[in-house]
Amino acid sequence: MEKLKLALYWAASCGGCEIAVLDLDEKILDVTAIFDIVFWPVAIDIKYKDVEAMPDESIDVCLFNGSIRTSENEYMAHLLRKKSKILIAFGSCAHEGCIPGLANLSNRDEVFNVVYLDNPSTENPKKITPKTSTKVEEGELTLPEFYDTVKTLDQVVDVDYYIPGCPPPVKLISDAIDAIAQNNLPPKGSILAPLRSVCDECKFERHEKKIKEIKRVYEVEKIEDKCLLEQGIICMGPATRGGCDARCLDANMPCTGCGGKTPNSPDQGAKMISALSSILGVEGEEEMTEEDVDSLIDQVIDPVGTFYKYSLPSAFINRRPLR
Amino acid sequence: MGKNIGVYICDCNGEISKTVDVDAVSIFAGNQDEVVVSRVPNNLCSTDGLEAIKKDIETGKVDRVLIAGCSPKRYDDLFRNAFEKSGLNRGFYLRRNIREQCAWVHEDKDIATEKAKLLVKSGISELKLCEPVQEIKTKMGRTSLVIGGGVAGMSAALDLAKNGFYTYLVERDEELGGRAFNVSMTHPTTECGICCIHDCRDCVLTPKPEEVYCNENIDVMLSSEVVDALGHVGDYTVNIKGKNGALRAINVGTVIIATGYKPFDPAKIPEYSYDHKNVLTSLELEKLFLEQKPSRTGVRRPSDGKVPDTISFIQCVGSRDINKGNPWCSLVCCNYAIGQAKSLKKMHPETDITIHYIDIRASYRGFEEFYNEVLAMGVKFLRGRVAEVQKLNDDLQIICEDTISGDPVQTKADMVILSIGMEPNEDTKRLAEMFHRELSEDGFYRDLNLNLNFSPEARTGAFLAGCAQGPKSIRYSIADGKIAAGLAADMMRKGYILAEDTLGIVDEDLCGRCRICVSLCPYDAIKLEEIEPGKAIAKIDPAGCTGCGVCGAACPTGAILMSQFKDDLIYAQIDALSEEV
């Protein structure tokens, strides 16, 4: 049987998703047994022009990780969409925008300012920032355009499947590979992960959930053997799709939400805010003054970074207004 | 199944059509996809109007109905039942409010018409996505709990017992009877026949404690209090703390709250010198009446045992007084003071009796005549709120203005009787929370709503009787007990409730078992059900669920949906409302 053709690409991402593929360990041998890897910038030397030269839909499966924040990312998303039969948004960045997506609280100028100018470890007296085109003696140099807004892969091109996680758990990757190999994929648009939330996989005991205050992890002296939310720690587990075996919780750390929203939830952060506001200070709420309520809410440090750490670009309100 | 939507616009006898061009709205609706009928029937909520719509349903012309007219809170039951009888599932009937939310709040006809079109359009888009509602049978216990052993509670318990429903009657005091049995008489009792001496508290009309104790269907728990309650309509488990603190758990289907009232504390109005020995409340005067009853020696004033030469009644103490008391009228005090004055006058014809009143409210049958009778006996009535009761050793002096003559009045009294009003009992709030009932701003329970399908009674199985719901006379408290018993019996008779699935639904495949909903449900309607060892997912008991939506809002996975408010229905409405018409 002819091997399936596999492409892997990274757009705006940290590279963790690439490592996650290698985390397959000996399963990687199955991958190479099933697939011919035709494109994988991190591992093999194939240029964009080689991809451009491939016939349309000649790639069977493309695992695309990273969000879309430059014209290069966007170009490659369109190119790989055209060349691939199945395009999979691989990992949280491609799926919901992830950490790069938090740049939507800012814009290009502000990002450049922090990275290239107003930064204690940077010396840049000529105030040079990236330009799409620069004339030098030898001719014109170009760089991709850096966008104001970070987008998810499916905000740019049509996506067939999603594998969530930052990075995707090995089990989800390996299940996806098996499903592809056995031609056993669910309907288009499916997220290749369990339906239930992280709580379903969590080891902690759970009881009554009415909390009086919010604590950050370092403020809790000893983690008790019960649901972290009940201990006042914001755990995104309830609003986050499982499939990770609750490995953060296994290490006594709260879920921060990389699995993304759950099937019936239109907006992960909004769902968690709604859930948390339902249980926070619910006892004695009638006696509370506006100030009491404000001070309760003020206990949430960095609300966007807490509730939308991985999903800002795909949220209802997906960025700060651009002036 | 095809979607043949019928849109019926009501002009509400001009109430709507004066600001909304109903014909234009009807034409607009008729042009929408899947709308097969769009009309403005005459008198939509009348028999004729309904018949026309029913005919459209029965002939199969329409299978989904949108009524645009008054608030859905009005006639909802009427419409639902009428259309259901014609074969329309309840889920395929919707309302849009173009009266209160449109015609009545706008002046400009163009704007109001535009808005009415939008509202109708949102209704049509919702109706397209609606699903049929199924009815679910749930448990309805055939026993009842009556809280409070006063006349209202006793009357309720007796009626329930007579109808064959086993009833628990919990009373905080050591004996039944409540406040009515601490008064010496009821007014204007003239129905007792031959033995009637007009001052008998054991009127034939009042339920007797002995009857209650003897009834084999009533389990009386004295010196007992309700500690807590779990569950919901049809299936409450109530913990009752009895004598010596012993706890007892009972299971009941319905609850009747008849916890009565608390008398206003006159010490809150220091000008009335309640700390003086000869200033008594009307209830304390009752004690004097009862004490002298066997010997019939008449009333003596407390400080020195003298037969009082002058007695002044002060009305509205704590009632109709927004500064020092409560805004409401306590209803019974006028008649009560008149009755007490009559008794005193009969005991001591020489005694000068004055009733200081603001208005005499001698409502209800027989009381105006009673008032005139007492007036003719020589009891004086002086209009004007008393400013002060001054202490003069054993005697007292009343300072007020006669608001009829305009003269200032300064008059001596050997005794002063304060006609104190009624306030909600301390327990009211606690019991309200326990049995999911709401309180009004005055602190009494929110009013009875006899539209049973949507009333708080139907949702909670907790009925109210007597003064727990606001000031009432003995007669009407007893009647209340009978009404509550009747409603509760109606509910329990079948032994089950038909709940609609217009409630919260858990998608079992999505429930992450976080238990947020379980902690929050105000009706204890969410339980955990083990699907595999160690994994218990949330399950909503349709009997207890009222569709309030607390769980749906809190559910972080979206596993809980409110069947009538699913996201797609709401998005469809938002989309419709945000388009131009």
Give the domain CATH number at A50: 3.40.50.700
Phi, psi of A121 (to 5 degrees): -100, 10
Q: Which residues of A make CB contacts under 8 Å with B?
A: 195-200, 206-210, 227, 229, 237-239, 242, 262-266, 271-272, 274-275, 278-279, 282
B547-557 residue pLDDT tens? 889 999 999 99
Minimal Cα–Cα distance from B522 to chain A, Å? 11
Minimal Cα–Cα distance from B455 to chain A, Å? 24
Q: Of A145, A113, A138, which is closest to residue A128 (Cα–Cα)?
A: A113
**Distances from the Cα of A319 to the Cα of A147, B85, B408, angstroms:** 13, 52, 74
Instruction: Name B462's bridge partners.
Output: B255
Contact between A239 and B557 using a beta-carbon 8 Å cutoff: yes
Contact between B510 and A198 using a beta-carbon 8 Å cutoff: no
Of A200, A266, A275, the CB nearest to B556: A275
Q: For residue B128, give every residue at least 6 positions away whose Cβ sits within 8 Å of its Cβ, in sequence order, or none.
A: B3, B5, B34, B64, B572
Kindly list the residues from chain A whose CB atom is less than 8 angstroms away from the CB atom of residue B559: 262, 264
Q: For residue B563, give every residue at least 6 positions away whose Cβ sits within 8 Å of its Cβ, in sequence order, or none.
A: B131, B133, B501, B502, B503, B504, B505, B547
B127-152 residue pLDDT tens? 999 988 888 888 899 999 999 999 99
Contact between A206 and B513 using a beta-carbon 8 Å cutoff: yes
Q: Is residue A321, in this structure, part of any structural domain at all?
A: no
Of B515, B535, B556, the CB nearest to A271: B556
Are the C-beta atoms of B266 and B421 separated by less than 8 Å? no
Ranked by mean pLDDT, which of A72-86, B39-53, B282-296 comes out on top? A72-86
Kindly list the residues from chain B whose CB atom is less than 8 angstroms away from the CB atom of residue A233: none
Number of domains chain B contains: 4
Contact between A274 and B519 using a beta-carbon 8 Å cutoff: no
Classify burial at B215, counting beta carbons within 10 Å of its beta carbon; exposed 0-12, middle 13-18, buried 19 or more: middle
Contact between B509 and A208 using a beta-carbon 8 Å cutoff: no
Which of A175-189, A199-213, B182-196 bottoms out in mean pLDDT, i.e. has the lowest? Answer: B182-196
Are the C-beta atoms of A94 and A11 separated by less than 8 Å? yes
B490-530 residue pLDDT tens? 999 988 887 766 688 899 999 999 999 998 998 888 989 99
What length does chain B have? 581
Instruction: Name A9's bridge partners.
Output: A64
Phi, psi of B37 (to 5 degrees): -130, 135
Examine the domain organization and report whether A95 and A203 are in the same domain: no
Examine the domain organization and report whether A118 and A236 are in the same domain: no
B395-406 residue pLDDT tens? 999 999 999 999
Selected for mutation to probe chain B from A210, A267, A278 (highest B CB count within 10 Å) is: A278
Q: How confident is the model at residue A85 (pLDDT cuts 50, 70, 90)?
A: very high
Are the C-beta atoms of A263 and A195 separated by less than 8 Å? yes
Q: At A49, is the secondary structure helix, strand, or coil?
A: helix
Q: How confident is the model at residue B193 (pLDDT cuts 50, 70, 90)?
A: very low
Selected for mutation to probe chain A from B530, B557, B565 (highest A CB count within 10 Å) is: B557
Last residue of a domain, one of B423, B438, B462: B423
Q: Is residue B398, in this structure, part of any structural domain at all?
A: yes
A203-241 residue pLDDT tens? 999 988 889 999 999 999 888 999 999 999 999 999 999
Selected for mutation to probe chain B from A200, A203, A229, A283 (highest B CB count within 10 Å) is: A200
Q: How confident is the model at residue B455 (pLDDT cuts 50, 70, 90)?
A: low
Q: Is residue A297, in this structure, part of any structural domain at all?
A: yes
Phi, psi of A34 (to 5 degrees): -90, -40
Write the single-letter amino acid at A230. E
Examine the domain organization and report whether A298 and A229 are in the same domain: yes
Q: Which residues of B make CB contacts under 8 Å with A?
A: 507, 509-516, 518-520, 535, 550, 553-559, 561, 567
Write the single-letter amino acid at B107. E
Q: Is the pLDDT of residue A45 over 60?
A: yes
Instruction: Name B380's bridge partners.
Output: B354
Q: What residues make up the domain containing A303? A: 198-314
**Distances from the Cα of B444 to the Cα of A38, B74, B266, B429, B430, angstroms:** 77, 25, 20, 9, 12
Q: Is the pLDDT of residue A82 over 80?
A: yes
Mean pLDDT of B439-449: 82
Q: How confident is the model at residue B192 (pLDDT cuts 50, 70, 90)?
A: very low
Q: What is the DSSP letter of A83?
A: H
B234-281 residue pLDDT tens? 999 999 999 888 999 999 999 999 999 999 999 999 999 999 999 999
**Distances from the Cα of B372 to the Cα of A254, B197, B369, B376, angstroms:** 78, 19, 5, 6
Last residue of a domain, one of B376, B398, B423: B423
Phi, psi of B262 (to 5 degrees): -120, 135
Of A198, A238, A264, the CB nearest to B516: A238
Minimal Cα–Cα distance from B501 to chain A, Å? 20
Q: Is residue B230, in this structure, part of any structural domain at all?
A: yes
Mean pLDDT of A268-279: 95
Ranked by mean pLDDT, which of A66-80, A213-227, B351-365 comes out on top? A66-80
Minimal Cα–Cα distance from B457 to chain A, Å? 24
Task: Find, in chain B, the residue whose alpha carbon is nearest to that of A195.
Answer: B510
Examine the domain organization and report whether B302 and B386 are in the same domain: yes
Examine the domain organization and report whether B118 and B197 are in the same domain: no
Q: What residues make up the domain containing B519? A: 501-563
Q: How confident is the model at residue B1 (pLDDT cuts 50, 70, 90)?
A: low
Residue in the block written with tokens 């203005």? B401
Examine the domain organization and report whether B364 and B288 are in the same domain: yes
CATH number assigned to the domain comprising residue B177:
3.50.50.60
Q: Please give the Cα distance from B200 to B178 (Å, whole number).
A: 16
Q: Is residue B578, in this structure, part of any structural domain at all?
A: no
Contact between A279 and B557 using a beta-carbon 8 Å cutoff: no
Q: Is the pLDDT of residue B533 over 60?
A: yes
Examine the domain organization and report whether A162 and A67 are in the same domain: yes
Q: Is the pLDDT of residue B197 over 50?
A: no
A with B: how many residue pairs have Cβ under 8 Å apart? 91
Last residue of a domain, one of B377, B406, B423: B423
Q: What percent of chain A has pLDDT over 90?
A: 90
**Distances from the Cα of A54 to the Cα of A8, A9, A78, A90, angstroms:** 15, 15, 14, 22
Kindly list the residues from chain B whose CB atom is less than 8 angstroms away from the CB atom of residue A238: 512, 514, 516, 556-557
Minimal Cα–Cα distance from A278 to chain B, Å? 6
Two tokens, residue B265: 């504390």
Examine the domain organization and report whether A163 and A287 are in the same domain: no
Two tokens, residue A103: 């740049």
Q: Is residue B574, in this structure, part of any structural domain at all?
A: no
Q: Of B179, B176, B181, which is closest to residue B215 (Cα–Cα)?
A: B176
Q: Is the pLDDT of residue B202 over 70?
A: no
Mean pLDDT of B161-165: 96
CB atoms near residue A121 (< 10 Å) = 4
Minimal Cα–Cα distance from B445 to chain A, Å? 18
Examine the domain organization and report whether B95 and B240 are in the same domain: no
Are the C-beta atoms of B375 and B381 separated by less than 8 Å? yes
ipTM exceeding cut-off 0.85 for this assembly: yes
Instruction: Tell me what pLDDT residue A143 has.
Output: 96
**Distances from the Cα of A42 to the Cα of A10, A14, A15, A27, B570, angstroms:** 8, 12, 9, 19, 46
Mean pLDDT of B114-127: 96
Of B509, B513, B555, the CB nearest to A275: B555
The secondary element (H helix, E strand) that includes residue B540 is strand B535-540
